[in-house]
């Protein structure tokens, strides 16, 4: 008798349908991003409004309590993740976020606790979090990871949800998935972006459940 064999292309649409069964709602920040861009020493660019909307939906569904973000810039992704926590109220989400190029203070973000690490690499922030015995529920990666980063992420939580930006072609999201899947997070399931999107997820097999409905 044959086994039921499913691949990433088959399961990815089902995962997105579970995350947002009624579709991804439009996300609007409302922050004065122009003034924040003026503070940038190095303009790296922000995620699109669609990416931000998907990011909010991911946080709404999985309800992480601790997020580690690589790539703060002007905080659009930070605000999107914080907006996904609004239904739980304040004091339910802490976001640690680093930016190796800039030191922009992004200000309040929908009641979430935000701990910025300006002019700090991902490796440096992960090392600090590990030294402080922080357990991370979700990583949001908008920067290039090294194999050292991958090892530190596993120490911070081997079953964490990982969200990757720029997952298309030969962009950094694809390269980061290769680094993570090659060894440290080989037991995670890769979820491809929605049609036209660039946001991919890596979900631990421990977090997958079959339900009767």
Domains and CATH numbers, the chain: 47-207 (3.40.50.150)
Give CA–CA dist 68/124, Å, rounded: 12
- Average pLDDT over the chain reads 92
* More confident call, 54 vs 212: 54
pTM of the model: 0.94
pLDDT tens readout for residues 134-151 = 999 999 999 999 999 999
Cα 174 to chain centroid, rounded:
14
pLDDT tens readout for residues 53-92 = 999 999 999 999 999 999 999 999 999 999 999 888 777 8
pLDDT of residue 31: 62
Give CA–CA dist 203/213, Å, rounded: 21
pLDDT of residue 30: 62
- Cα atoms found within 13 Å of the Cα of residue 167, Cβ hemisphere only: 23
Region of poorest pLDDT, from 43-47, 150-154, 188-192, 205-209: 43-47
Helices (H) and strands (E) in the chain, counts: 7, 7
pLDDT tens readout for residues 182-201 = 989 999 999 999 988 999 99
pLDDT-based confidence at residue 112 (cuts at 50, 70, 90): very high
């Amino acid at each position: 008798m044959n086994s039921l064999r499913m691949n990433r292309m088959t399961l990815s649409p089902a995962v997105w349908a579970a995350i947002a069964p009624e579709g991804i709602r439009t996300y609007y920040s409302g922050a004065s991003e122009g003034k924040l861009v003026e503070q940038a020493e190095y303009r790296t660019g922000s995620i699109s409004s669609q990416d931000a909307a998907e990011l909010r939906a991911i946080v709404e569904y999985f309800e992480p309590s601790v997020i580690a973000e690589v790539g703060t810039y002007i905080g659009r992704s930070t605000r999107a993740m914080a907006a996904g926590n609004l239904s739980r109220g304040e004091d339910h989400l802490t976001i640690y976020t680093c930016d190796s190029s800039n030191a922009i203070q992004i200000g309040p973000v929908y009641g979430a606790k935000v701990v910025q690490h300006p002019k700090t690499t991902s490796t440096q922030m992960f090392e600090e979090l590990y030294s402080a015995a922080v357990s991370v529920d979700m990583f949001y990666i908008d920067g290039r990871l090294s194999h050292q980063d991958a090892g530190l992420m596993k120490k911070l939580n081997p079953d964490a949800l990982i969200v990757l930006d720029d997952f298309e072609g030969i962009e950094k999201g694809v390269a980061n998935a290769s680094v993570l899947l090659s060894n440290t997070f080989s037991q995670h399931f890769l979820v491809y972006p929605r049609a036209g999107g660039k946001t991919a997820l890596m979900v631990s097999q421990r977090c997958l459940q079959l339900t009767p409905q």
